[in-house]
Homo-oligomer: A and B are copies of this chain.
Amino acid sequence: MKHKAARATINDVAKAAKTGKTSVSRYLNGEHHALSPDLKQRIEQAIAALDYRPNQMARGLKRGRTRLIGLIIADITNPYSVDVLCGIEAACRARGFTLLVCNTNNEIDQEQHYLQLLSSYQVEGIVVNAVGMREEALNRLQQSLLPMVLIDRKIPDFSCDVVGLNNVQAANDATEHLVKNGYRALLFLSEPLGLVNTRLERLQAFRQCCAGHTGVLCENAEAALSDAAAMDRIILDFYRRHADRPAALLVANGALTLQVARAMRRLDLDWGRKMGLLGFDELEWAELAGDGITTLKQPTWQIGYAALERVIQRIEGEATTIEEQTFHGELVVRGSTRPLA
């Protein structure tokens, strides 16, 4: 049996209420002041009786506004992205929008595909959660004429609103913490820097902070998430070269922290005992790994919420200038950066 469903239309309701569809439409749109109590009553009943619900497609077609917002996520597997999503969703709910979520799975072509898809569904705006996104993919976004807000990362040569972390403050706090607790050799570990502004900003703040302290050695290295061998090499090498002083790792994001922790496991370099470890992004399991891993927690939910509000501003035409909005991160101290003697 095929599902025919044959849902009731505004016409059915009008007929059942013995009136025209205009009045029904008025009722639906809250123009109650223009309806007699009697008519209102009849319409109400008809709607209930037929279990009628307006067809949003038709509505959107007519009004030219769908109240749909698209979200493009590079990797929905990333807890950071999920938290952001929750914030966006809450904002959508509060503002009467519906969210269309698209996960590109970090496949470059998917993004283009989804962009077209979203626009063909007449979304009114788009949020791009660029965390984990490849650069090539990001660059293709520029074509879109829709109101758009980026999360976390900027696109070189493309002005667009961005909502993200205050990288300078965050990297500074993290570095200061390590120095304060006695670490004297620091390695900033990130995925390949490329032109990714978040990585660059964090690295620069890290260096600047180091420069302010004498006797602290600073280095940085790049490692791909999937290259376990390289990771082992980098970490072990760093550890050996600084056997004479307390060494610590500052890892640029949560996904990488997971891999780094695995590597340290393999190398038998217990965090907090043989080497310090501090990672950007909070991890739900942070307290369970060894004596805990110190993290720099981002206000992810707020970031998502703010991003959506910004898109809406653009949709409403209230946003005139391109803006970058940043939030403060918070250090969550655990065993992996315990103070040294």
Q: Which residues of A contact B (CB under 8 A)?
A: 1-3, 5, 7, 53-58, 60-61, 66, 76-77, 79, 82-83, 85-86, 89, 98-103, 105, 116-117, 119-122, 145-147, 258, 261-262, 265, 283-285, 287-290, 314-317, 320
CA distance in complex: A317, B4 (Å)? 10
Q: Assuming A147-B3, A265-B287, A265-B288, is B117 touching A98 (CB within 8 A)?
A: yes
Distance in Å from the Cβ of A119 to the closest Cβ of chain B?
6
Q: Assuming A61-B58, A86-B105, A122-B56, is B285 touching A288 (CB within 8 A)?
A: yes
- Whether A103 contacts B120 by the Cβ 8 Å rule is no
Q: Assuming A5-B145, A288-B262, is B119 touching A53 (CB within 8 A)?
A: yes
CA distance in complex: A92, B256 (Å)? 30
Interface residue from B61, B98, B103, B317 paired with A61 (Cβ < 8 Å): B61
Which among A55, A99, A261, A283 has the greatest number of chain B C-beta atoms within 10 A? A55
Number of this chain's copies in the assembly equals 2
Residues on the B chain within 8 Å of A100, using CB = 98, 100-101
- Whether A54 contacts B120 by the Cβ 8 Å rule is yes
Q: What are 16 A-B pairs at a CB distance below 8 A?
A: A2-B317, A5-B145, A53-B116, A57-B58, A57-B121, A79-B79, A85-B103, A86-B103, A98-B121, A99-B102, A100-B101, A261-B288, A262-B287, A262-B288, A265-B288, A288-B289
Distance in Å from the Cβ of A105 to the closest Cβ of chain B?
7
- Whether A120 contacts B258 by the Cβ 8 Å rule is no
Which among A3, A283, A316, A317 has the greatest number of chain B C-beta atoms within 10 A? A3
Who on chain B is nearest to A264 by CB? B288
Apart from A1-B317, A57-B60, A77-B83: 7 A-B pairs, beta carbons within 8 A:
A56-B121, A61-B61, A98-B100, A98-B117, A100-B101, A258-B285, A258-B288
CA distance in complex: A56, B119 (Å)? 9
Residues on the B chain within 8 Å of A285, using CB = 258, 283, 285, 288-289
- Whether B57 contacts A61 by the Cβ 8 Å rule is yes
Distance in Å from the Cβ of A94 to the closest Cβ of chain B?
13
CA distance in complex: A261, B66 (Å)? 46
Residues on the B chain within 8 Å of A314, using CB = 3
Interface residue from B55, B117, B147 paired with A122 (Cβ < 8 Å): B55
Interface residue from B83, B99, B105, B261 paired with A101 (Cβ < 8 Å): B99
Distance in Å from the Cβ of A100 to the closest Cβ of chain B?
6
Residues on the B chain within 8 Å of A320, using CB = 1
Distance in Å from the Cβ of A21 to the closest Cβ of chain B?
16
CA distance in complex: A314, B5 (Å)? 13
CA distance in complex: A261, B288 (Å)? 7
Distance in Å from the Cβ of A331 to the closest Cβ of chain B?
21
Residues on the B chain within 8 Å of A116, using CB = 53
CA distance in complex: A286, B251 (Å)? 20
Who on chain B is nearest to A118 by CB? B98
Residues on the B chain within 8 Å of A122, using CB = 55-57
Which among A85, A86, A284 has the greatest number of chain B C-beta atoms within 10 A? A284
